[in-house]
Amino acid sequence: MRHNSLSLLCHRPASSEITPERVYLDRRRWIAAATASLAFRGAARAAEAPPLAKLAATRNARYSVTDTASAYEDITSYNNFYEFGTGKGDPQRNAGTLRTQPWSVTIGGEAETRGTYTLEDILKPHALEERVYRLRCVERWSMVIPWIGFPLGDLLRRFKPTSNAKFVAFRTLHDPKQMPGQRAGWLEWPYVEGLRIDEAMHPLAILVVGLYGRVLPNQNGAPLRLMVPWKYGFKSIKSIVGISFTRSMPPTSWNIATPGEYGFYANVNPAVAHPRWSQASERRIGASLFDATRPTEPFNGYAEQVAGLYRGMDLRRFF
C-alpha cells in the first residue's frame, strides 16, 4: 500500500510497536542506576586520595563575584594542563607524579633584586585571601572558583622592577619525569606566558596557592599558579618556577604554537571568534547538556575594573 505524507503523519502505531510501560520504567531505572554508579566510582576515586591540607584565608568580598561556585569535584577533575596530557581528565589521573616540595622560584631580568627563592620565601610576607573568580576557557566552558592566594603586584614590587621593565614573563617547571606530557611535542616546553607590567600589577591578578579552603591540587597548578580572571584560562600559567621582568613582549606557548588562534593578550572578548568556534556563549562546568548556555561577557565580566588598561587599542587586532 502506498502512503502519502499525511497518512504517515497520522499513522497510529500497532500495540506491538509501543514500548511496554514496565520496560520503559525499567530502562529509566537502569539509566539512573548507571548514573549513580558512575558518581559513586568518581567519589570513590576522590576518596582514595588523601585530603589536602587546609589553608586559612580571609574572603576578599571586594574582588569576589556572587556567582555560585562550581563543585570541587568538577574544578579538580576537568582541567587543561598539557604537561599531564591533553584530555580533560588526564591531569587528575597523571599529576600525582609532580613533587611540589621543595619548590623554588627564580626571579630575574630588569629588577634591582634577583635570585632564587623557596616557596616559603615567596609566601612569607603575604596574607592569604580567598577570592571567588570566574574562569573562562577558549573551549567555551567556564567555572567559578574560590581561589586562595595573594596579589601578584605585591610580590613583584618586592623585587623593585626598574623603569626598563615593561613586561613580566613566567615559566613552568620543565621535568618530563614528573610531567609525562612534556615527553610529547604538542607544545614547546617549558610552558611560558607573559603579561604587560600594568596588567601584572592590577589588583585582580593574583598568585594562587589553594582553592576551596585547601592547598592547590597538582592538577590545578600546584604549588603556585597565576590567575588573571579577565583573560582566557591558558594565560593563567601553572606550577611556576620562573618570573622575569623584560623590556620586550615575551614569547607565550600557545602563541608560538598557533599564532593565528592565540594572541598575547587573550582578553575574553565575545565579539572576536576563535577561528574554529564562536566565543559569544559559554557553558558552566557541571551543567547539563540540556541547560542553556549563557552569553559571554566582555573581559569575562570584569570590564568595569580592567577595560581602561586597553583604552585606544584595537582588541580585534590585539587579541
Instruction: Please report, in tens digits, the pLDDT of each residue of the chain (319 residues total).
Output: 333 332 322 333 444 434 444 433 344 443 343 333 334 334 434 445 678 999 999 999 999 999 999 999 999 999 999 999 999 999 999 999 999 999 999 999 999 999 999 999 999 999 999 999 999 999 999 999 999 999 999 999 999 999 999 999 999 999 999 999 999 999 999 999 999 999 999 999 999 999 999 999 999 999 999 999 999 999 999 999 999 999 999 999 999 999 999 999 999 999 999 999 999 999 999 887 777 799 999 999 999 999 999 999 999 999 9
Same domain flag for 169 and 86? yes
If one counts the domains in the chain, the total is 2
Same domain flag for 30 and 94? no
Same domain flag for 218 and 75? yes
Same domain flag for 226 and 255? yes
Cα separation, 19 vs 120, whole angstroms: 65
Cα separation, 127 vs 141, whole angstroms: 31
Same domain flag for 80 and 30? no
Same domain flag for 305 and 291? yes
Contact at 8 Å (CB) between 51 and 214? yes
Same domain flag for 30 and 153? no
Same domain flag for 143 and 26? no
Q: Is residue 123 included in any domain, yes or no?
A: yes
Q: Is residue 28 included in any domain, yes or no?
A: yes
Same domain flag for 189 and 247? yes
Residue pointed to by grid coordinates 581561589: 147
Cα separation, 315 vs 135, whole angstroms: 20
Q: What is the pLDDT of residue 13?
A: 40
Q: Is residue 226 included in any domain, yes or no?
A: yes
| Backbone CA torsion sign across 87, 172, 94, 89 | negative
Q: Is residue 269 included in any domain, yes or no?
A: yes
Predicted model pTM = 0.84
Same domain flag for 174 and 83? yes
Q: Is residue 210 included in any domain, yes or no?
A: yes
Cα separation, 165 vs 252, whole angstroms: 17
- Distances 251 to 170, 194, 197, 286, 314 between C-alpha atoms, Å: 10, 7, 15, 34, 21
Contact at 8 Å (CB) between 214 and 131? no
- Distances 80 to 63, 173, 245, 254 between C-alpha atoms, Å: 24, 16, 26, 13
Q: Is residue 316 included in any domain, yes or no?
A: no
Cα separation, 245 vs 173, whole angstroms: 18
Q: Is residue 137 included in any domain, yes or no?
A: yes
Residue pointed to by grid coordinates 566510582: 41
Same domain flag for 70 and 43? no
Same domain flag for 66 and 43? no
Q: Is residue 317 included in any domain, yes or no?
A: no
Give every CB contact of residue 144 below 8 A, 6+ residues apart in sequence: 65, 67, 68, 69, 70, 132, 133, 134, 135, 284
Full residue range of the structural domain in which residue 111 is found: 53-310
- CA angle in degrees (0–180, nearest 5) for 101-103-109: 175
Residue at which a domain ends, from 5, 25, 47 = 47
Domain CATH for 101: 3.90.420.10
